[in-house]
């Protein structure tokens, strides 16, 4: 807090608040994520998770193409001095999928599995939007899909 002197003829100190700048973007982490996180032992997977949480949209969707994997590796090298190869990123992605933190959007069309590079972060563990309704919609869709399979 800065103190300034206002010249009014009287000598007195008045306090004026300095502007406070805060980041407005956020990701909510739910307590259930803790148990799952402790099971992941790969530093690359943990760095990838943090990166994905920043990259995902308000529906927790993100893409992970070969170009995205290279971009992640470059950002890790620049920001953290970590040198990850695309195959390391693939292993980290697999660890996150095995832990069910991220889920692939692959579909079966006429009994043929399609491959896409789109994933979503499990809303049971993380959520990016401030809308609880959107989260509930996604969780309900996940649960109904699980029972249909």
In degrees, rounded to 5, the angle at the alpha carbon of residue 125 between the alpha carbons of residues 124 and 131 is 70
- pLDDT tens by residue, 97-131: 999 999 988 765 566 666 678 999 999 999 998 88
Q: How far apart are CA 92 and CA 87, in angstroms?
A: 9
Of the candidates 128, 112, 110, the one whose C-alpha atom is nearest the C-alpha of residue 26 is 128
Contact indicator for 15, 3 with CB cutoff of 8 Å: yes
Order of strands across the sheet that contains 102-104: 61-63, 118-121, 102-104
- pLDDT tens by residue, 32-44: 999 999 999 999 9
Residue 5 pLDDT: 56
Q: Which helix (H) or strand (E) holds 120?
A: strand 118-121
pTM, two decimal places: 0.77
State the pLDDT confidence band at 1, using cuts at 50, 70 and 90.
Answer: very low
């Amino acid at each position: 807090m800065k103190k300034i002197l206002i010249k009014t003829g009287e000598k007195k100190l008045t306090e004026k608040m300095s502007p406070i700048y805060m980041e407005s973007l956020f990701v909510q982490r739910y307590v259930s994520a803790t148990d799952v996180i402790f099971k992941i032992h790969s530093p690359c997977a943990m760095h990838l998770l943090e990166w994905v949480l920043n990259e995902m949209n308000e529906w927790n969707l993100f893409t992970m193409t070969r170009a995205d994997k290279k971009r992640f590796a470059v950002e890790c090298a620049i920001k953290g001095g970590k040198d990850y190869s695309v195959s390391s990123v693939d292993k980290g992605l697999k660890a996150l999928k095995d832990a069910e933190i991220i889920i692939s959007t692959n579909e079966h069309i006429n009994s043929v599995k399609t491959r896409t590079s789109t994933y979503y972060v499990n809303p049971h563990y993380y959520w990016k939007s401030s809308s609880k309704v959107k989260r509930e919609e996604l969780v309900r869709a996940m649960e109904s899909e699980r029972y249909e399979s």
